Amino acid sequence: MAFWRSKKNDSSDDSSTSFSPSAGEEASGGLFGKMKNGLQKTRRVLGTDIRDLFKAEGRLVDEEFLGELFARLVRTDMGAGPAGRIRDRVAKDFRGRVVHLEEVVETITEDIREQLKQDHGDLAKADSPPTVILVVGVNGSGKTTSIGKLSHHLVSQGHKIVLGAGDTFRAAAVEQLTIWAERIGCEIVTGPSGVDPASVAYQTTEKAIEIGADYAIIDTAGRLQTQGKLMLELEKIRRVIDKKLPGAPHEVLLVLDATAGQNAISQAKGFSNAAGCTGIILSKLDGSAKGGVVLPIREQFELPVKFVGLGEGIEDMTKFDPDTFAAALLEA
């Protein structure tokens, strides 16, 4: 049996979760400023490495230069494929010429923008509410916090939300999501410790229909992509949601930790097959120098990156915009 809690105001503090807006947000310069701040570590590595390739008088684009450029691009965990395409683009445009930093940066930015181009980055929306969103990922990926931030984002747009605490074997996850629900001001469905997560998912969907919610967002147990039994559990959750609301879930978001770099690729591979993922939330981008990992994720799985986590505060999640990301990655 699952339980639901009505929204309430709670001014108490929680030492494990930060709810304050990011420092200096007023002066952040909007989406570009947020993205630029979030990519600080990646930009510092990549920008410094590329600047170091140049002298004041410029640099001849030859095999030595192209090899050094490739190595520096790979350091951001963008992988050999995307880095190789950027190197080849620079070679095509400038081979045999003496060029300056600004020219190469412009070409790299344009190529990254093209590689990240995606047809759609908006959340899926059901023909009639509620839209059911299932959120999956490994423990420690920032999954539950990402749900909280996404819920805040939707509530701030005027939407009515129901959360489902489907990570029933981890009391801390249920407690954390309950705190998010209370702070945001939305309903939450929980269950006794160890209850079948599918029953929580079913009753979350049922509650969303009953109260006329716009979105039901359901957490799931953190798992490794190699844990077959737990991956089968995800399939069961999908089936029971569809039984209650045909066509649901409408969105299955995979939370990937940007600090995991290339390890995030193997996670995406396992989850995209078993869970039928439709999009990605890239968390902890501000804490990583491996922000380039978004390129091989897009290359290998063709899953749109829908949101990125750019800090600790409740406001520090934003919709992913490829043009802004590419520009912020190399902005001085």
Q: How many residues does the chain have?
A: 332
Residue 207: pLDDT above 90? Answer: yes
Residue 158: the pLDDT is: 96
Q: What is the mean predicted confidence (pLDDT) over 200-219?
A: 97
Instruction: Find the radius of gyration of the CA atoms of the chain.
Output: 21
Report CA dihedral (260, 261, 262, 264) to the nearest 10 degrees. 50
Residue 263: predicted pLDDT: 75
Tally of CB atoms within 10 A around 55: 10
State which of 134-148, 175-189, 229-243, 293-307 shows the largest mean pLDDT. Answer: 175-189
Residue 142 annotated as part of some ligand binding site:
yes
What's the average model confidence in pLDDT over 130-158? 93
Is the domain of 241 the same as that of 148? yes
What is the reported pLDDT for 165?
96
Does 166 fall in a domain? yes
DSSP state of 124: P
Asked whether residue 325 is domain-assigned, the answer is: no
Residue 206 lies in a domain: yes
Residues 82 and 41 in one domain: yes
Quick one: pLDDT at residue 13? 35
pTM over 0.85, yes/no = no
**Do 79 and 158 fall into the same domain?**
no
Task: Look at residue 129 and give its three-state secondary structure.
Answer: coil
Q: What domain count does the chain have?
A: 2
- Structural domain ending residue among the three candidates 89, 116, 143: 116
Same domain flag for 223 and 270: yes
Q: 143 and 98 in one domain?
A: no
Least confident segment among 53-62, 218-227, 240-249, 303-312: 218-227
- For residue 37, tell me if it sits in a domain: yes
- Tell me: pLDDT of 123 over 70: yes
- Per-residue confidence at 9, pLDDT binned at 50, 70, 90? very low
Task: Specify the pLDDT at position 152.
Answer: 95
Determine if residue 138 is labeled as part of a ligand binding site.
yes
Q: Which of 116, 144, 168 is the last residue of a domain?
A: 116
Residues 138 and 256 in one domain: yes
Whether 59 is in a domain gets the answer yes
Beta bridge partners of 282: 256, 308
Do 138 and 88 share a domain, yes or no?
no
Asked if pLDDT for residue 181 goes beyond 70, the answer is yes
Q: Is 219 annotated as a binding residue?
A: yes
Quote the CA–CA distance of 45 and 288 in Å, as a whole number.
Answer: 10
Which CA distances in Å does 88 have to 95, 119, 314? Answer: 10, 25, 40
Say whether 286 counts as a known binding-site residue. Answer: yes
> Residue 130's pLDDT is what?
98
Q: What is the CATH number of the domain that holds 171?
A: 3.40.50.300
- Asked whether residue 82 falls in the same domain as residue 181, the answer is no
- Angle at 298 (CA atoms; ends 292, 299), nearest 5 degrees: 95
Q: Is 327 annotated as a binding residue?
A: no
Residue with the larger pLDDT of the pair 162 and 222: 162
The answer to whether residues 35 and 328 touch, using CB atoms and an 8 Å cutoff, is yes
Tokens representing residue 139 in the block? 């423990």
Q: Give the least confident one: 239-253, 255-269, 305-319.
A: 255-269
Residue 249 has pLDDT above 90, yes or no: yes
Mean pLDDT on 223-243 = 79
Domain final residue, candidates 277, 297, 325: 277
Strands 161-164 and 187-190: parallel
CATH number for position 64? 1.20.120.140
141 is in an annotated binding site: yes
CB distance 289 to 261 below 8 Å:
no
In this structure, the answer to whether residues 142 and 228 fall within a common structural domain is: yes
pLDDT reported for residue 314: 86
Residue 231 sits in the same domain as residue 262: yes
Contacts for 140 with CB less than 8 Å, ≥ 6 apart: 222, 257
> Is 285 annotated as ligand-binding?
yes
In 10 A of CB 129, how many CB atoms?
A: 16
Domain, as residue range, for 109: 29-116
The reply, when asked if residue 261 is annotated as ligand binding, is: no
Q: How confident is the model at residue 247 (pLDDT cuts 50, 70, 90)?
A: very high
d(CA 108, CA 326): 9
Residues 83 and 146 in one domain: no
Q: Check whether 220 is labelled as a binding-site residue.
A: yes
Q: 98 forms bridges with which residues in the sheet? A: 60
pLDDT cut 90: percent of the chain above it: 48
Q: What is the pLDDT of residue 11?
A: 35
222 is in an annotated binding site: yes
Tell me, yes or no, whether 110 lies in a domain: yes
In a domain, 299, yes or no: no
> Residue 108: inside a domain, yes or no?
yes
pLDDT of residue 228: 67
Same domain, 144 and 197: yes
